[in-house]
Chain A
Amino acid sequence: MVNIISEVTKTKIYDMLKQNQRVDGRSFTEYRDIKITTDYISKANGSAMVSIGNTTVIAGVKSQVTTPFSNSPNSGIIITNTELLAIASKSFEYGPPNKFAVEISRVVDRCIRESPLIDLEKLCIVESERVWKLYIDIYIIDYDGNIMDATSLATISALLTARIPQASLVDGEVVVDEENTVKLPVKNLCCLTTIVKVNNFLLVDSTFDEEELMDASISVGFRSDGTLCAIQKCGLDSLSVSDVRNSINIAYNKSKELISILEKIR
């Protein structure tokens, strides 16, 4: 059996996992190097470039005054959109967001909405008439696995450091003061950790090669006080009850790490 050594093959990953090792030397619950740069895009109200190992994403926050939804007249609006850029990977093609991009947007959106990261009621300017709408756009520019966690870190970092103009009511008209900006009203810090199951092993922060072999994955969101605020299972295979419980425990431990990183950004 001739193996091309410099290729990371399925058998190589499986063999190493059986010996409690990963190809890049990390432990099963270790994150790769996380780098976060905030205020990266000056035209955006808030922005963050996050790289986890070789995966890099950029999130931008833009604010706009708009009419609220009729069923939540005194609440601000958050709209999350993720794009997997063609430059990020050979397998990404141009076109409308595909199902993975849509899913990532929605999972991250729900995690920050349920926490809630932002106190949406404080984004209300005039009840039933004018509220702040925050657009969060995330660009995946380099793909080496675990874009769910990278996207959530980028989104949360961008929101924590975003500044929006002050809006006030003057003689019945909404006046927006672009010169004086304020930070967003943050309520509960939260974070998201994705655990991938490969051949019965649970791995944190999977690389592209590890993801290619995954049976299933589960993303778990925690608030800073230790409450669960999001769960999403992905993948074509099933998870056992103990898989899910163990994943939640692992994610809980990781959340301490991630929350402390986010606290420093605030």
Chain B
Amino acid sequence: MTTEYVREDGRLFNTLRNMKLEVGVLNNADGSAYIECGNNKIIVGVYGPKELYSKKHAKVDGAVLRCKYNMAPFAVNERKRPGPDRRSVEISKLISEAITPCIFLEKYPRTSIDLSIEVLEAEGGTRCLGIVGASLALADAEIPMKDLISACAVGKVDDRIVLDLSEKEDKEGQADMPIAILPRTNEITFIQMDGHLSGEEFDEALKLAFEGCKFIYELQKQALIKKHEEM
């Protein structure tokens, strides 16, 4: 008799936490999205493309994507000093690189697209949720893209490959691997790994991550369609 492996929060190995996606939540931003997943609460805002007059920063062959990931002081257990820390700087860079392959930047020379990911409450997996939200906010701002970007994290906990690590699983687990993909063409635009994985475990994890991303892709599409049906 085999029993299903049940994680500490009651989920199976391939269960995603409940996700709520909302598009167009801010009045001022050109595009915006809000994500709740477990206790994660993330809001993403996009301004642009807007003409960039600073010759130093503007690029003649395409738009400049400026991406900032930031955590609120009250988002974590120990209050975090406001302002960018090294972790936020690294994540900002990675998210920018995850999104760039997807946008037709060349359509908007001499402009900037400013994207801000604000984590209001964190509970594991904020960088992936930030990418999911950024994709929706960019679509909301009508910035031309090849596809939506989907992201989720897989990891190893208790020697098992699991999907969508909670904060506890992230801290106490044996491996954590967030990825972001363009679901239509299966291109990977973001991948990081922390911990120990054998070659086989990596293959299993990658396959599970793709399944998770494809599921989230459907949720993203529904969120966009829902917003326009309301209009």
The answer to whether A binds B is yes
Using CB atoms and an 8 Å cutoff, list the residues of chain A in contact with chain B: 40-44, 47, 54, 56, 58, 60-62, 64, 81, 83, 85-90, 94, 96-97, 135, 137, 139, 141-144
Cβ contacts under 8 Å, B44 to chain A: 87
* B118 on the A face (CB < 8 A): yes
| Interface hit among B4-12, B27-35, B203-211 | B27-35
**What residue of chain A has the Cβ atom nearest to residue B72's Cβ?**
A139
A144/B29 contact (C-beta < 8 A), A83-B82, A85-B116, A86-B114 known: no
* B173 on the A face (CB < 8 A): no
Cβ contacts under 8 Å, B50 to chain A: 90
From A47, A90, A94, give the contact of B68 (CB < 8 A).
Answer: A94
Say yes or no: A86 contacts B75, CB within 8 Å: no
Say yes or no: A42 contacts B28, CB within 8 Å: no
From B28, B73, B114, B121, give the contact of A135 (CB < 8 A).
Answer: B73
A47/B73 contact (C-beta < 8 A), A142-B28, A144-B27 known: no
Interface size, chain B (Cβ < 8 Å): 29
Say yes or no: A42 contacts B121, CB within 8 Å: yes
Cβ contacts under 8 Å, B114 to chain A: 86
Cβ contacts under 8 Å, A58 to chain B: 72, 120
17 A–B pairs (Cβ distance < 8 Å), ordered by A = A41-B74, A60-B73, A62-B74, A85-B118, A86-B45, A86-B47, A86-B114, A87-B29, A87-B43, A87-B44, A87-B47, A88-B28, A89-B28, A137-B72, A137-B74, A137-B79, A142-B29
**What residue of chain A has the Cβ atom nearest to residue B84's Cβ?**
A94
Cβ contacts under 8 Å, A137 to chain B: 72-74, 79, 82
**CA A232 to CA B27, docked complex, whole Å:** 28
Cβ contacts under 8 Å, B45 to chain A: 85-88, 141
**CA A81 to CA B72, docked complex, whole Å:** 11
Say yes or no: B74 contacts A60, CB within 8 Å: yes
Question: Given known contacts A42-B39, A87-B43, what 14 new A-B pairs fall within 8 Å (CB)?
Answer: A41-B120, A43-B121, A43-B123, A81-B73, A85-B116, A87-B29, A89-B28, A90-B50, A135-B79, A139-B72, A141-B26, A141-B43, A142-B26, A142-B28
Say yes or no: A87 contacts B79, CB within 8 Å: no
Give min CB distance, A117 to chain B, whole Å: 18
**CA A135 to CA B51, docked complex, whole Å:** 39
Say yes or no: A87 contacts B72, CB within 8 Å: no
Sorted nearest first, the 5 A-B pairs with minimum C-beta distance are A60-B74, A87-B45, A62-B79, A44-B74, A137-B73
Say yes or no: B83 contacts A96, CB within 8 Å: yes
Give min CB distance, B126 to chain A, whole Å: 12
Give min CB distance, A95 to chain B, whole Å: 9
Give min CB distance, A33 to chain B, whole Å: 13
**CA A144 to CA B39, docked complex, whole Å:** 28
Central interface residue in A61, A87, A89, A97, by most chain B CB within 10 Å: A87
Cβ contacts under 8 Å, A42 to chain B: 39, 121
